[in-house]
Amino acid sequence: MEVGAPDYLAGERQTAEFDVESMKVTWAGSRHALEVSDRMARLVASDPVFRKDNRVMLSRKELFKNTLRKAAHAWKRIVELRLTEEEASRVRFFVDEPAFTDLHWGMFVPAIKGQGTEEQQQKWLPLAYKMQIIGCYAQTELGHGSNVQGLETTATFDPKTDEFIIHSPTLTSSKWWPGGLGKVSTHAVAYARLIVDGQEHGVHGFIVQLRSLDDHMPLPGITVGDIGMKFGSGAYNSMDNGVLRFDNVRIPRDQMLMRVLQVTREGKVIQSDVPRQLIYGTMVFVRQTIVADASCALSRAVCIATRYSAVRRQFGSQNGGPETQVIDYKTQQSRLFPLLASAYAFRFVSEWLKSLYTDVTEKLQRGEFSTLPEAHACTAGLKSITTSATADAIEECRKLCGGHGYLANSGLPELFAVYVPACTYEGDNTVLLLQVARFLVKTVSQLGSGKVPVGTTAYMGRARHLIQCKSNVQSAEDWLNPQVVVEAFEARSLRMSVACAENLAKFPNPEEGFAQLAADLVEAAAAHCQLIVVTKFFEKLQQDIPGKGVKKQLQILSSVYALYILHKHLGDFLSTGSITPKQGALANDQLRSLYSKIRPNAVALVDAFNYTDHYLSSVLGRYDGNVYPTLYEEAWKDPLNDSVVPDGYQEYIRPLLKQQIRNARL
Ligand SMILES: CCCCCCCCCC/C=C\CCCCCCC/C=C/C(=O)SCCNC(=O)CCNC(=O)[C@H](O)C(C)(C)COP(=O)(O)OP(=O)(O)OC[C@H]1O[C@@H](n2cnc3c(N)ncnc32)[C@H](O)[C@@H]1OP(=O)(O)O
Ligand SMILES: Cc1cc2nc3c(=O)[nH]c(=O)nc-3n(C[C@H](O)[C@H](O)[C@H](O)COP(=O)(O)OP(=O)(O)OC[C@H]3O[C@@H](n4cnc5c(N)ncnc54)[C@H](O)[C@@H]3O)c2cc1C
Q: So what CATH class is 282-446+481-607?
A: mainly alpha
Using the atom order of ligand 2, give the atom closest to the CA of residue 426. 17
**Is a pLDDT exceeding 90 seen at residue 447?**
yes
Using the atom order of ligand 2, give the atom closest to the CA of residue 136. 8
Q: From ligand 2's centre to the CA of 138, what distance in Å?
A: 13
Q: From ligand 2's centre to the CA of 147, what distance in Å?
A: 9
**Is a pLDDT exceeding 90 seen at residue 359?**
yes
- Does 92 sit in the ligand 1 pocket, CB within 6 Å? yes
Q: Helical H runs in 264-371?
A: 281-311, 330-365
Burial of 103 (0-12, 13-18, 19+ CB in 10 A): buried
- Does 376 sit in the ligand 1 pocket, CB within 6 Å? yes
Q: State the DSSP string of 546-564.
A: -STTHHHHHHHHHHHHHHH
- Asked if 244 and 319 count as a contact pair (C-beta separation under 8 A), the reply is no
Count of C-beta atoms within a 10 Å radius of residue 200: 10
At residue 434, the pLDDT reads 98
CATH fold for the domain made of 133-272: Butyryl-CoA Dehydrogenase, subunit A; domain 2 (2.40.110)
Q: From ligand 2's centre to the CA of 236, what distance in Å?
A: 16
**Is a pLDDT exceeding 70 seen at residue 179?**
yes
- Asked if 501 and 444 count as a contact pair (C-beta separation under 8 A), the reply is yes
The lowest-confidence range among 331-335, 363-367, 442-446, 468-472 is 363-367
- Does 395 sit in the ligand 1 pocket, CB within 6 Å? no
At residue 365, the pLDDT reads 85
Residues in CB range of 30: below 8 A, 6 or more apart: none
Question: Angle at Cα 523 formed by Cα 521 and Cα 528, nearest 5°?
Answer: 95
- Asked if 399 and 307 count as a contact pair (C-beta separation under 8 A), the reply is no
Question: Angle at Cα 357 formed by Cα 356 and Cα 361, nearest 5°?
Answer: 120
Task: Report the distance separating Cα 159 and Cα 264, nearest Å.
Answer: 9
At residue 642, the pLDDT reads 95
The residue nearest atom 55 of ligand 1, judged by CA position, is 277
**Is a pLDDT exceeding 60 seen at residue 665?**
no
The SS3 assignment for 190 reads strand
The residue nearest atom 14 of ligand 1, judged by CA position, is 106
**Where in the chain are the domains?**
26-97, 133-272, 282-446+481-607
Closest-approaching ligand to the CA atom of 516: 2
Closest-approaching ligand to the CA atom of 139: 2
Mean pLDDT of 345-353: 98
Reference 148, options 206, 109, 193; nearest CA is: 193
Q: Which CATH number fits domain 26-97: 1.10.540.10, 1.10.10.60, 3.40.50.300, 3.30.1440.10?
A: 1.10.540.10
Beta strand extents in 178-263 (DSSP E only): 187-196, 199-209, 222-226, 242-246, 249-252, 261-263
The residue nearest atom 25 of ligand 1, judged by CA position, is 426
The residue nearest atom 64 of ligand 1, judged by CA position, is 435
**Is a pLDDT exceeding 90 seen at residue 297?**
yes
What amino acid positions are annotated as catalytic residues?
426
Q: From ligand 2's centre to the CA of 523, what distance in Å?
A: 20
The amino acid that residue 534 corresponds to is V
The residue nearest atom 67 of ligand 1, judged by CA position, is 373
- Does 178 sit in the ligand 2 pocket, CB within 6 Å? yes
**Is a pLDDT exceeding 90 seen at residue 183?**
yes
Confidence of residue 448 (pLDDT cuts 50, 70, 90): confident
- Does 180 sit in the ligand 2 pocket, CB within 6 Å? no
